[in-house]
Amino acid sequence: MSEQREQWQSTAGFIMAAIGSAVGLGNIWRFSYVTYENGGGAFLVPYILALFIVGIPLLMLEFGIGHYMKASAPVSLFRIDRRFQWVGWWAVGFTMFGILVYYCVVIAWCLNFIFFALYQPWAGMDGGANAFFFGEFLGASTEDGLRKPFELTAPRFTILVSLAVVWALNGIIVGRGLRGGVEPVIRVFIPMLFLLMIVLVIWSLFLPGAGQGLAWYLAPDWSKLADWRVWVEAITQIFFTLSLGFGIMIAYASYLPERSNITRNALITAFADSGFAIFAGVAVFATLGFMAQAQGQGVDQVVTSGIGLAFVAYPQVISELPFLPTVFGVLFFTALAIAGLSSSISIIQAFVSALSDKYEVNRTKVVGTVCTVGFLMGIVFTTGAGISWLDIVDHFMTSYGLVLVGLLEALIVGWVFGGERLGSHIEGAGSFRFSSHYGTFMRLLMTGALAFTWFGLHQAEDGLGTFLGRLFVLLSIAGVWLQRSWLDYSLKIIIPVALLGLLDRALAQ
Ligand code: PHE
Ligand code: NA
């Protein structure tokens, strides 16, 4: 631990790695199905608000704390107060590892589908790509819907093989270290990924029916703002997509040099990530429009289970494409696989950093063990019941993992470490000042969100809860403007209240 801590070769290396972690399956596979299940354009408004109100401040927190402490999550939190170390281990050991296991299974599906795209086994099948994915491929279909979690089967051989390949790749890349493996690989993957996505978006815009899909995707539905479930999904998606609440961004920022513009790095990462998701959404929904037109159905009716969206809509389109279908398919699933791998290596890297900050460990051995255990734990998701497990574990991990860790981080840093102190550290390291236009913008945004909460309370029954809610809104609006630092206020009050409300609703469900 005393030896010189590794550092990123350059700021660009760090930003690309942070973007590499953020931009992943969450931006294409998860974003598109969550958007699909939440009414298309209706989802974008809460998503963008959640980005600003919860996502960006927490990203600044994780970058700032990692940079300040020069350590990954468990040790960073230990240094704030030794009693909080467990929060770091919870993030790294439970949440991060838990998500990693099924995340790699979805990457494995992508590898399989790169090959399927070459000969499109679903073409001409009864039920087309939908039947192929849930039936042939996953072995999840039964007479009455998808297999239940305890209706296990033997592992699906093709998935098992590519899962082994995924873990081998992870192991090789992370095993070579930050500068020898992660950084150079990311530097190739990220530009490639953005390029692939641009090609796919342009291509899909020329499909007949694309306009219908886009209209559904981009038409906002303000009334959805009143539905708390949409907020739960939006905030959860923001956590997942920005890799927040895993301790990953803490670990990555711990390798930054002394002088670093944290604010700028956080904004670049956040905007690159959501920009990518929204942009990739154009391709996905244009494609769905094409499919809907071909089947004479509504855009919201073409897929049976959202979680398989990317693996149903794209294959279906591939086999109906008038022009170079194989190329289109191979490009799409290659993009997904690259996005996934650049995120999975970030998870393993952060996990290994956490261990080696605390203990004398041999990197090769740790990486080897992590990859073997991850592979073995992943096997349950390769069975016919895998997709129902995936759905359950995803919901469980995001609520009890990400959101809970985010809540605790905000409380610990806001109240114990001090939000003002974090703000001055970030400014002192060479960031632009929070009191600048961005601060004013954030204050206005928070005031707007609070006013909306007031409006929502207005429609509720009168009672003590409603009264307290209104009191909270008024005090908060006053606080947002009277406090020197919006970051301090949002960590201390706004984010905890929002996340507590969300957890409460999610648990009551
Ligand atoms: N942010 C990644 C994505 O959007 C997901 C991820 C989860 C990355 C956990 C790292 C850790 O796909
Ligand atoms: Na993401």
Ligand 2 centre to CA of 240 (Å) is 7
Atom of ligand 1 nearest to the CA of 277: 4
- What is the DSSP secondary structure assignment for residue 354, as one 8-state letter? H
pLDDT at residue 438, as a whole number: 83
The answer, yes or no, to whether residue 103 has pLDDT greater than 60, is yes
Q: Output the six-digit token pair for 118.
A: 């070459």
Residues 6+ apart with CB under 8 A from 22: 241, 242, 243, 269, 270, 272, 273, 343
Average pLDDT in the 437-453 region? 86
Ligand 1 nearest atom to the CA of residue 243, by list position: 1
Element (H, E) at 186: helix 183-205
Q: What residue has token string 């995707």?
A: 217
Question: Are 291 and 313 a contacting pair, CB within 8 Å?
Answer: yes
The best mutation among 103, 170, 174, 197 to test binding of ligand 1, ranked by most ligand atoms within 8 Å of the C-beta, falls on 103
Specify whether the backbone of 297 is left (phi greater than 0), alpha (psi in -120 to 50) or beta.
Answer: beta
Q: Which of 470, 471, 474 is nearest to 459 (CA)?
A: 470
Pocket residue to mutate for ligand 1, from 29, 276, 343, 344, most atoms within 8 A of Cβ:
343
84: exposed, middle or buried (Cβ count in 10 Å: 0-12, 13-18, 19+): buried
Does position 64 have pLDDT exceeding 50, yes or no? yes
Residue 273 CA: which ligand 1 atom is closest? 4
pLDDT-derived band at 92, boundaries 50, 70, 90: confident
Per-residue pLDDT for 179 more than 90?
no
Overall size of the chain counted in residues: 509
pLDDT at residue number 81: 95
| Secondary structure (3-state) at 81 | coil
| Residues 105-146 pLDDT 10s | 999 999 999 999 998 898 888 888 888 999 889 988 887 778
- Å from CA of 244 to ligand 2 middle: 10
User: Could you tell which of 240, 344, 345 is best to mutate to test the pocket of ligand 1, judged by most ligand atoms within 8 Å of the CB?
Assistant: 240
Question: What pLDDT, on a 0 to 100 scale, did the predictor assign at position 59?
Answer: 97
Residue 98 C-alpha to ligand 1 middle, in angstroms? 12
- CB under 6 Å to ligand 1: residues? 21-22, 24-27, 99, 240-241, 243, 246, 248, 343, 346-347
Determine the distance separating the centroid of ligand 2 and the alpha carbon of 260, expressed in angstroms: 23
CA of 451 to the centre of ligand 2 (A): 29
| Residue range 430-446: mean pLDDT, rounded | 81
Please report the pLDDT score of residue 124 as a whole number. Answer: 82
| Mean pLDDT (the chain, rounded) | 87
Give, for ligand 1, the residue of 21, 58, 186, 393 to mutate: max count of ligand atoms closer than 8 Å to Cβ: 21
Ligand nearest to the CA of 106: 1
Q: Looking at ligand 1, which residue's alpha carbon is closest to its atom 9? A: 243
> Which among 42, 501, 56 is positioned nearest to 249, based on CA atoms?
56
Mean pLDDT, residues 317-323 taken together: 77
Contacts of 309 (CB under 8 A, 6+ apart): 29, 32, 33, 36, 284, 303
Tokens standing for residue 451: 């006013």
Q: Which residues contact 236 (CB under 8 A, 6 or more apart)?
A: 398, 399, 402, 403, 502
Query: Counting ligands in written order, which one lies closest to the CA of residue 243?
Result: 1
Please tell me the least confidently modeled range out of 167-181, 305-319, 436-450.
Answer: 305-319
Distance separating alpha carbons of residues 151 and 389, to the nearest angstrom = 11
467 CA to middle of ligand 2, Å? 38
Dist. CA 262 → ligand 2 center (Å): 19
* CA-based nearest residue to 177, from 324, 8, 421: 8
C-alpha 183 – ligand 2 centre gap (Å):
18
Instruction: Count the Cβ atoms, other than its own, within 10 Å of residue 62.
Output: 30
pLDDT digits (tens, 9 = 90+) for 328-373: 889 889 999 999 999 999 888 888 878 887 787 888 888 999 999 9
Task: In whole angstroms, give the CA distance from residue 80 to residue 418.
Answer: 10
Q: What spacing in Å lies between the alpha carbon of 104 and ligand 2's midpoint?
A: 15
Query: What is the structure's pLDDT at 455?
Result: 79
Q: Please, what sign has the CA dihedral across residues 92, 193, 300, 309?
A: negative
What does the pLDDT read at residue 2? 39
Q: In the 3-class helix/strand/coil scheme, how is 102-128 assigned residue by residue?
A: HHHHHHHHHHHHHHHHHHCCCCCCCCH
Please name which ligand lies nearest the alpha carbon of 344: 1
Q: Which residues contact 274 (CB under 8 A, 6 or more apart)?
A: 47, 48, 51, 241
d(C-alpha 289, C-alpha 65), whole Å: 44
pLDDT over threshold 60, residue 1: no
Q: Atom 6, ligand 1: which residue's CA is nearest?
A: 243
Q: What are phi and psi of 146, to 5 degrees?
A: -80, 150
Q: Which atom of ligand 1 is nearest to the CA of 27?
A: 4
Burial of 461 (0-12, 13-18, 19+ CB in 10 A): exposed
Q: Residue 362 and residue 349: Cα distance in Å, rounded?
A: 13
Please state the ipTM of this predicted complex: 0.97
Please indicate whether residue 422 or residue 502 has the higher confidence score (pLDDT). Answer: 422
pLDDT bracket for residue 4 (50, 70, 90):
low
In this structure, of 3-12, 50-59, 369-378, the range with the lowest mean pLDDT score is: 3-12
Grouping H, G, I as helix, E, B as strand and the rest as coil, residue 83 is helix
The CA 444 to ligand 1 mean position distance, Å, reads 30
**CA 24 to ligand 1: nearest atom:** 12
Pocket test for ligand 1, best of 243, 274, 344, 346 (most atoms within 8 A of CB): 243
**What is the 3-class SS of 410-456, one letter each residue?**
HHHHHHHHHHHHHHHHHHHCCCCCCCCHHHHHHHHHHHHHHHHHHHH
